[in-house]
Chain A
């Protein structure tokens, strides 16, 4: 019985390690997805001069990975909210529980105060700034990814084993 318990403990610790590693991978994927989405948004805004709600819909439909954020913001805007409020609300709901850090979310949140409020060239500047912030986060996350995934997986296995030995 004790052996079964110990095995379960090790398995659970391994799973936690894998989950943590998977979250690091998810962060890289989400940041890459957001950078792509910002590129699309910039095209719709700067070149297409598409109304913001419609641009958000289009980006949402084109990006399966992060599309739900944009679709929700568009839905809230069509319900009568101004972009700043719609974006903030959609972003809080979407980012909660994802692997993104507070530092990753901050430039996105700041976008709510400026997007849609100035001429196209100014919008391009804001979007490029956000992209540069996301890119810095993505670059950092991707560089550390192999090391961190190995670390979390090893920590899961070793932590589980140590705990099982201590309790056994």
Chain B
């Protein structure tokens, strides 16, 4: 399954370009003309050439669009970095300092901006950035239909969904797949026998819902309840306790406390859809955080993704654990 087979939603095209400050918008406008819809990442680092990454490769940004040649590349200067920080924070670093402490910002439209530079620490903890000198803008892509090739394997005979773990290396399309899966669960997919579900989304990094000031920017359907910018362990507990979900979805389990919260949700009888970094099942089994989840058979399906034929290439769907 490569992205080319799938239909991007109509709201994608201009959203990331309009969020940039005027000078960068002018500079990247020709890039948008040539490869805009398929841009996945834009790297803007002070003193370095600006780079865009698409599903098919990386290019330098030149005044006329994209180029292979480093000599043609436009270098990001200090004022460009300041302008971008102003635009990303809406000139309000203090209002987003908690997100910055985690190393990223979420923009309207759900685009995520990773930050690099000189971190500011206090008693060993990161409290923010003293100087931001680099950005990695990850474009939020709603790919409707991304989960359809998987639904047959994930839908239970009773119209529910098997608890599923999606794994891939970074950039492998986990988040895009989960986002579409939430939408499918929330609306239901009668074609695949999937009934509509109440879905609780623990969106710690704001990437699934693309939440901006608490409001999802992505279409997650009418039955999705989202708690964003909240540690997964708290969000999962809050959702199970308060919102009565039939399925809970969360992205990138990595911390032992996340795994414990996931097991608590299993104990509450809720189906799970989660993702984690990893390129194979063997990888997963080596990770101490995930091993208990596999050993306790929290999941009945494991989906392995890769970038082999573009992000979201389905390598394997493995049945795991008991099927109640």
* Known contacts A82-B83, A82-B87; is-contact A116 B22 (Cβ 8 Å): no
Q: Is the CB of A52 within 8 A of B85?
A: no
Mask, A84-104, CB within 8 Å of B = 1, is 100000000000000000000
Docked pose: A114 CA to B21 CA in angstroms: 18
CB proximity of A58 to chain B, nearest CB, Å: 13
Q: Is the CB of B91 within 8 A of A83?
A: yes
The stretch among A1-9, A26-34, A42-50, A156-164 that forms the contact with chain B is A42-50
- List of B residues within 8 angstroms of A84 by Cβ: 86, 91
- List of B residues within 8 angstroms of A83 by Cβ: 86, 91
Q: Is A10 an interface residue (CB 8 A)?
A: no
CB proximity of A51 to chain B, nearest CB, Å: 5
Most buried by B among A49, A50, A53: A49
B98 nearest in chain A by CB position: A49
Docked pose: A68 CA to B97 CA in angstroms: 29
Q: Is B89 an interface residue (CB 8 A)?
A: yes
* Known contacts A82-B86, A84-B86; is-contact A116 B92 (Cβ 8 Å): yes
- List of A residues within 8 angstroms of B67 by Cβ: none
Docked pose: A123 CA to B21 CA in angstroms: 23
CB proximity of A132 to chain B, nearest CB, Å: 20
Q: Is B93 an interface residue (CB 8 A)?
A: yes
**Choice from A46, A52, A118, A120 contacting B90 with Cβ under 8 Å:** A52
Q: Is the CB of A123 within 8 A of B94?
A: yes
Interface residues of A toward B: which range? 20 to 34
- List of A residues within 8 angstroms of B21 by Cβ: 82
Docked pose: A46 CA to B95 CA in angstroms: 9
Q: Is the CB of A117 within 8 A of B95?
A: no
Q: Is B127 an interface residue (CB 8 A)?
A: yes
B22 nearest in chain A by CB position: A80
Mask, B171-209, CB within 8 Å of A = 1, is 000000000000000000000000000000000000000
- List of B residues within 8 angstroms of A80 by Cβ: 22
Docked pose: A139 CA to B10 CA in angstroms: 59
- List of B residues within 8 angstroms of A82 by Cβ: 21, 82-83, 86-87, 91
**Choice from B82, B83, B87, B93 contacting A118 with Cβ under 8 Å:** B93
CB proximity of B17 to chain A, nearest CB, Å: 13
Q: Is A119 an interface residue (CB 8 A)?
A: yes
Most buried by B among A52, A53, A83: A52
Q: Is B245 an interface residue (CB 8 A)?
A: no
Q: Is the CB of A116 within 8 A of B86?
A: yes
**Choice from B22, B85, B92 contacting A51 with Cβ under 8 Å:** B92
B132 nearest in chain A by CB position: A117
CB proximity of A16 to chain B, nearest CB, Å: 42
Docked pose: A83 CA to B94 CA in angstroms: 14
Chain B, 67-104, CB within 8 A of any chain A CB? 82-83, 85-87, 89-95, 97
**Choice from A50, A53, A77, A116 contacting B93 with Cβ under 8 Å:** A116
Q: Is the CB of B91 within 8 A of A77?
A: yes
Most buried by A among B82, B92, B93, B94: B94
Chain B, 33-91, CB within 8 A of any chain A CB? 82-83, 85-87, 89-91
Docked pose: A119 CA to B89 CA in angstroms: 11
Q: Is the CB of A45 within 8 A of B90?
A: no
- List of A residues within 8 angstroms of B82 by Cβ: 82
Interchain Cβ contacts under 8 Å between A and B, 13 examples: A46-B94, A49-B94, A50-B92, A80-B22, A82-B21, A82-B83, A116-B89, A116-B93, A117-B86, A117-B93, A118-B94, A118-B128, A123-B94
The 6 closest A-B pairs by CB, nearest first: A83-B91, A116-B91, A82-B86, A120-B94, A52-B92, A119-B97
Contacts from B to A (Cβ < 8 Å): 21-22, 82-83, 85-87, 89-95, 97, 120, 127-128
Contacts from A to B (Cβ < 8 Å): 45-46, 49-53, 77, 80, 82-84, 115-120, 122-123
List 20 other contacts, CB 8 Å, given A53-B92, A80-B22, A123-B94. Answer: A52-B91, A52-B95, A53-B91, A77-B91, A82-B21, A82-B87, A83-B91, A84-B86, A84-B91, A115-B91, A116-B91, A116-B92, A117-B85, A117-B91, A118-B128, A119-B93, A119-B94, A119-B127, A119-B128, A120-B94
